[in-house]
Structures are given as structure tokens and as C-alpha cells.
Amino acid sequence: MWIIGVIIVLVAIIIMLILFNIKIHKEISNYKNINQKINGLNVLQDFMTTAGDSISVDEKIRKINEILIEEYDIKYSTIVEFNGTEYVIKASNVEEKHWDNLRSLHNEEIFRDSITTATPKYITVDNENERLPYQKSEFGRAKAAMFFPLYIENVYIGYWIIESGIPHAFDNIDTTILEVVKDNILSVFRIVNYQNIVESLTRDDYYSALKSSEYLFNEGRKVIDKYTTSTICMFRISNLEQINHEFNRETGNQVIIDVCDYIKENLSGEYIFVRYMGPKFVIAFSGAEVDGVTRFVLDMKNAVENLEIEIVQEKKADNEETSKKTAKAKLNIVLTTYYKGTALEKILKKQEEYLDNAPVTEHDVNNI
């Protein structure tokens, strides 16, 4: 009987150990899941931080690719964008001599269905003597690859491919994590899409030879955000419409040219000067306090308003010119402090509203 008792005790101990192991396994699994989620959140935070950095779109995507490679221990990672006309490698740690091949993967039969159906594709070789179907001249670099087509709101924008030099390297990889990574890449593409548009819209104004307002939100902001605070000055040539009406539009254009030429000649190169819209212009005094800027702006205003700008003469029917006259510009100016990282566009909108609603006869320097 005592043997039966011992057996029962042993069975009970074994059952307890099994239950204990099951509990430990669940806790370890939960810990791994929590750890993966925390890691995913950290990577996402890195992505979002990168998206908000004052760097170009291309630099952001390259930095994101570097984060992927480091955080997920990926051997090779390449992000390719389809811009509507051609495929462009936006980021890759593969040697550049292989880029022609990597930017042409959409032509490979093995990936066409993946692009059409918007589903990932995993391919691998079984031994070191084989090579992947899309590899032409590179025999030993990659032995396994996962291909992810990228779509934003059902619009195809390119693909992301990760590669390993080991056969079957991705057999046991958690594809849900890679899907999350892919979604994070798309999130960043959405964020930087506006910046991409702004960068492409930046142009030079014909008359003032200044950059357009879009420049402020791209290259200009990189300069401004080197400092904790800066002063944003928006001014309006308040009598430009009157000059156009009293004389002619050509004279109004000449007023813009002469005013901007004078300011550019007397403005430090570290400050940003752009034509904002119509008769409104913006000077970003990088790293300067309002009090320090006010004196300079007053002197600038007085000098500009004393410029005598020749009227662009119009020919009469008998080819005699009108009597020579000069025009003078009047400036209405508003100054505001900008703090690094805050909404620059809101400051400009507030300044614009002030100048647009001010009386036509007002030409002063105001702090708001």
C-alpha cells in the first residue's frame, strides 16, 4: 500500500510541476509579448521622432532604414519608392553597384503577384550553392528575402525588401512584427508626404528674386530651429495696390524689386528673407530677440520708405512719354517671437491676418 501512496504523491508532484511549468511558460510568453510591444513602441517613437526632425525627406527615410537595421538585426534593408514615373531607391545598406537590380524588382515574375495582391512574399534557397531568382550578378550576397509592397490608401507607392545571407533565415520570424514595421514605414511616409510636397513647391519669385513661402517650412526652418527663440517679421507694402492703380502694374513690380534689393543688401546672410504672398514678405531673424530686432527694422523701414523709385513710363499714342515721377513704398510691419518646435505656420497666419485687417493708411512697426 505504501508503494501506491508513494506513486500517488509522485504523480501529484509531477502534475504540480507540469502546471507550474505551464504557468512559467505563459508568464515567459506574456513577458516576451510585452517586451516585443515595448520594443515596437520604442521603434515607433524613434520613427516619429525622425519624422519630426528638421531634415529633408530623403534623410528621414534613410534614418528610418538605419533604425530598422539596428533594432531588428536585419542584414540588408532597402526601401524603394515609385513616384509615378520611375522607381527610386530611397534608402539601402546594400552596395550601390546592386541598386539597379533592387530598383527593378517590380519586373520580376516572382514579385508581380505580391504587388498586385498587396501581400508579402518570402523566398529562400536551400543551400549555399543556389541563388535567389532576382539576383543577376550577385551570387553570394543574399540567400533569403522578404518582399513587402507598400500601399497608402490603396495607392501603390513602392516596396520594402529585407535580405539575409543565410538560407531559410526568415523561416521562423514573426511576420506580424514585420507587418507592424511595414505599417510604421507607411506612417512615416504619410507624415513626410506633406514635407515632400512643400519641398517640391519651393520656387524663386520672379520679381523679388526671393524664395517662396514654402522655403520657410523646409530649408529655412532648419536654420531657424538651430536657436531656441527667433523673431519673425512680416511686412506688407501697404500702398502697393495704390501704386498699381495710380501709375501702373509695371511700376508696382519695380517697387517690389527695389525694396527687396535694398533689404537683401543690408540683411545678414544668416537671416531668412522670403516673399510670403502678394505684397507680404517675411524675414526670419534666426536667434534674435524682438527687442534687438526692433531698432534694425525701424531703420530699415525709414530707409525703404525714403527710396525714390522711378515710374515705369508708358508710351502715349504720339510716342511721347508721360512726365517723370517717382513712387515711394510704405511698409506696415509686425514682429512676433518664435519658439523652436512650435507651430510656425500659426504665427505667420496670425501676422497675415493682422496685416490684412489693418487700415490701408497704417504703416508702422507692431509687436503681437
Beta strands, E only, 165-311: 211-212, 229-237, 272-277, 280-285, 309-310
Radius of gyration of the chain (CA): 32
Residue 320 has pLDDT above 60, yes or no: no
State the pTM of this model.
Answer: 0.52
Confidence of residue 33 (pLDDT cuts 50, 70, 90): very low
Confidence of residue 322 (pLDDT cuts 50, 70, 90): low
- Which cell numbers in the block locate residue 244? 498699381
- Which cell numbers in the block locate residue 288? 534674435
Triad 142, 148, 152: Cα angle to 5°: 150
Find out whether 148 and 175 touch, Cβ atoms under 8 Å: no
Q: Which residue has the higher pLDDT, 318 or 309?
A: 309
- Which cell numbers in the block locate residue 168? 531559410
Residue 317 has pLDDT above 70, yes or no: no
The pLDDT of 33-43, averaged and rounded, is: 48
Beta strands, E only, 192-300: 211-212, 229-237, 272-277, 280-285
pLDDT of residue 70: 82
Nearest to 149 by CA among 173, 182, 174, 107: 182
Find out whether 330 and 363 touch, Cβ atoms under 8 Å: yes
Average pLDDT, the chain: 80
Regarding beta strands 272-277 and 211-212, do their DSSP bridges make them parallel or antiparallel, or are they unpaired?
parallel
Nearest to 257 by CA among 232, 242, 240: 240
Half-sphere exposure of residue 343: CA atoms within 13 angstroms, side-chain side: 7
> Which tens digits make up the pLDDT trace of 268-283?
888 999 988 889 999 9
At which residue does the C-alpha cell 507651430 appear? Answer: 343
